[in-house]
Structure 1
Amino acid sequence: MLALPTLSLYIHIPWCVQKCPYCDFNSHAQPEVIPEQAYINCLLDDLRADLAYVQGRQLQSIFIGGGTPSLFSAEGIARLLNGVESLIGFAPDIEITLEANPGTFEAARFRGFCDAGVNRLSIGVQSFNAQHLKRLGRIHDAAQAKQAAQLAAELVSQGKLQSFNLDIMHGLPDQTEAEALDDLAQAIALQPPHISWYQLTIEPNTLFASKPPTLPDDDTLWDIYEQGHQRLDAAGYQQYEVSAYGQVNHRGQHNINYWRFGDYLGIGCGAHGKITLPNEARILRTEKVKHPRGYLDLSRSFVHRSWDVAPSERVFEFFMNQLRLLEPVPKQRFVALTGLALETAERALANSIQRGLVIDQGEYWQTSAQGRLYLNAILGELLEQA
């Protein structure tokens, strides 16, 4: 019997000032006038069409991503969140995150987002190095990034914001170890409650994929990771996921729900959802229409496609998410959220346990220190068995 997990909501706003060469997200260069009100109308209609999936639950978190959601007005975000709350109840401690780029907002709008109900911001800094920012296609400079972080910190101190995150990327084209660690040092100096520190990967269907840049070699990447991790740890940031570091009580709850195989509704262009239907013994995935023109076409459905996660695929899907976290994995969670027998997972993990990549701790599984370095190998083996 499938259990009904925690429910979150992802809202996708697809427009950016310009498309970055490394980005494989569903984003589009903004038109001369963004159809903000029409798009919000569609988002709320999209959510109404998915209300049967709520099944009596409250929303534990909302993440407004993109694209660049901070291109929308504070008034528009307020209307959107008020509309969502009128349709689905909010948990008392709900986390509401909005992605923002340093070059797309000013102080009044930033405060307005908080007044609209946003209580966590995720600021896409990526680098403080002018040369690397230009290579990444970013439209802000280091001064704007620091000003954004300082403003967010001020709003936290005023009680208008609960937390904020800085995104910092390493392993950039032609980046030296010293440059990567300097970016991280500048981020730490701003004292954000949360830092997402992750390595650039070249994704298909991006400009970098068609014209691959020169990236640091593996030895340099390892040295960057090892030293960077030590610096984050020394500064009081606890690693709880492959690329997520938080000060005490500042873990990102929305992403944790993803990684714990929780449920989430996805509304907006190209948004994905994952819904458990216990009465039908099904796990359903949904994907919405990708292009804004099609999504705004009121004559068609918002759903591009939907499909069931077959029982044979659930082992891989569960561990693909769960093993990103450094916390132990309760065996009972696997049974409850996949509807599969415990023996199914034990057979699938047997080789990884024998090799010392995963440790069986009785009621839990835990990746070993070596297993965290070879996570792709564990997942590759699970995928082959799916």
Structure 2
Amino acid sequence: MPPLSLYVHFPWCVKKCPYCDFNSHAVVNAIPEDAYVAALIADLETAVPLVGERPINTVFFGGGTPSLLSPGAVGRLLDAFRARITFADDAEITLEANPGTVETAGGEQAFAAWRAAGVNRLSLGVQSFAPTQLAALGRIHSGDEARRAIDNAARHFDNFNLDLMYALPGQDLAGALHDVDTALAFAPPHLSCYQLTLEPHTAFAAAPPPQLPDDDIAAAMQEGIEARLAAAGYTHYETSAFAQPGRQCRHNLNYWQFGDYLGIGAGAHGKLTVNEDGQPQIVRQVRWRQPARYLAEAAQRTPLAEEFTVPANELPFEFMMNALRLNQGFADSLFSERCGLPLALIEERLAAAEAAGLIVRGDGRIAPSARGQRFLNRLLEGFLDAE
């Protein structure tokens, strides 16, 4: 069986950011914290028979804004999870936090309380330090609040991530690099640097959309960020992820290596490998999306809105969509181990991608070339609808 992770979705934010297409909802009045904690525990209980004694290697509280959960609630959840499912002794447990909610939650005391509750890795959604860009993104924190949050995170966590975005409305190359340099001053073990894209069904996608830097400027930003981080000793190990040695995000690595993950919470997605007559089958699950519906369904032990087995012809694309995000690629054997299919079935497609200069093969590995990293969507299209 592949390694197993647990994803816990928290669907509320103080406000909805205009670029966000995740399942998040602005808080109205108050968060039903006790009811949501009970729903998550009930949700996990329904899934335990599917995973049995398989250990949980990583846990990720995502959202939304999970830092709106009280540290006490996080601790209760982790205790309840451990009582119902096996955790690896060295399990990585990550909590996403918004710098704009930290001081409301108790400032430095909140970081200490999350650490005491069992969280051992923090991910701070900084996005930018510049007031103009923060305002354009609809963020609720200031640059100074972001700096204070990072400083406090570093005091209590030896493993933390900073999220940054670039190609923002009104941003130039110097501004994007200044954000990265500001982040590097805190020596974060991990950095995630994403290019802003206009996603459907977001406020930014509605007319008129904001004016973003053109493709050439965005490419210069990407190249400049990669060069800055490489000079600072960070490994660019995934499309948008950079880490100090040994600090790669284990939870996300499990996604990209096509591992299994149980997703609980409103709108959470999951991927589980099950054995059917001795053959591995990959099952996708989706929880009810709307928080009120999820609370009601989880209380009745019916948290699943959808469950289906991935057809064999779709597995090559699903696998490659994850594994080819890794700049070092994957071992040849991983495809068969995770998909239950021989690699020879997609040899033609691999050969075509290699001939186009999009992948490199050798020493038992398959990896995207520099060109394949730049044109990842084109590379992945070659694995759609495999027979």
User: Per the shorter chain, which TM-score range?
Assistant: over 0.9
Say whether residues 1:192 and 2:188 are aligned partners: yes
Matches within 5 A, 1:216-231: 216-231=213-228
- 8 Å CA contact 2:167, 2:213 repeated in 1: yes
Aligned mates of 2:300, 2:40 — CA distance in 1: 15
Change (3 A) 1:344 1:55: farther
Say whether residues 1:306 and 2:307 are aligned partners: yes
Partner SS for 1:209: coil
Aligned mates of 2:87, 2:385 — CA distance in 1: 40
Aligned mates of 1:340, 1:347 — CA distance in 2: 15
TM superposition shift of 1:183: 0.9
Say whether residues 1:178 and 2:174 are aligned partners: yes
Partner SS for 1:278: strand
TM superposition shift of 1:162: 3.5
- 8 Å CA contact 2:326, 2:367 repeated in 1: no
TM superposition shift of 1:385: 3.9
Q: Please tell me the residue identity of whatever aligns with 1:168.
A: L
TM superposition shift of 1:174: 1.9
- 8 Å CA contact 2:7, 2:262 repeated in 1: yes
Q: Please tell me the residue identity of whatever aligns with 2:136.
A: R
Aligned mates of 1:285, 1:196 — CA distance in 2: 26
Partner SS for 1:103: helix
Matches within 5 A, 1:234-383: 234-280=231-277, 281-297=280-296, 298-299=299-300, 301-383=302-384
Q: Please tell me the residue identity of whatever aligns with 2:284.
A: R
Say whether residues 1:70 and 2:46 are aligned partners: no
Q: Please tell me the residue identity of whatever aligns with 1:131.
A: T
Q: Please tell me the residue identity of whatever aligns with 1:24.
A: D
Aligned mates of 1:250, 1:300 — CA distance in 2: 37
Q: Please tell me the residue identity of whatever aligns with 1:289.
A: W
Residue 158 of structure 1 corresponds to which residue in structure 2?
none
Aligned mates of 1:149, 1:370 — CA distance in 2: 35
Change (3 A) 1:384 1:219: farther
Aligned length: 378
TM-score (norm 2): 0.95
Aligned mates of 1:324, 1:271 — CA distance in 2: 22
Partner SS for 1:233: helix
Residue 154 of structure 2 corresponds to which residue in structure 1?
153
Aligned mates of 2:269, 2:49 — CA distance in 1: 16
Aligned mates of 1:357, 1:341 — CA distance in 2: 21
Which residue of 72, 84, 88 corresponds with 1:87?
A: 84
Aligned mates of 1:271, 1:223 — CA distance in 2: 35
TM superposition shift of 1:88: 1.0
Residue 26 of structure 2 corresponds to which residue in structure 1?
29
Deviates more, 1:165-174 or 1:322-331: 322-331
Matches within 5 A, 1:160-175: 161-175=157-171
Residue 101 of structure 1 corresponds to which residue in structure 2?
98
Aligned mates of 2:384, 2:78 — CA distance in 1: 38
Unaligned ranges ≥5, structure 2 = none
Identity %: 47
Deviates more, 1:198-207 or 1:326-335: 326-335
Residue by residue over 1:74-104, the C-alpha shift from the partner in whole angstroms, topping out at 9 and shown as x without a partner, is 0000000101111111111110000000011
Aligned mates of 1:113, 1:300 — CA distance in 2: 29
Aligned mates of 1:206, 1:89 — CA distance in 2: 38
TM-score (norm 1): 0.96
Partner SS for 2:141: coil
Aligned mates of 2:374, 2:21 — CA distance in 1: 24
- 8 Å CA contact 2:165, 2:195 repeated in 1: yes
TM superposition shift of 1:362: 4.8
Aligned mates of 1:300, 1:206 — CA distance in 2: 32
TM superposition shift of 1:300: 6.7
- 8 Å CA contact 2:43, 2:301 repeated in 1: no
Partner SS for 1:350: helix
Give the RMSD, CA atoms, in angstroms. Answer: 1.2
Residue 212 of structure 2 corresponds to which residue in structure 1?
215
TM superposition shift of 1:279: 3.6
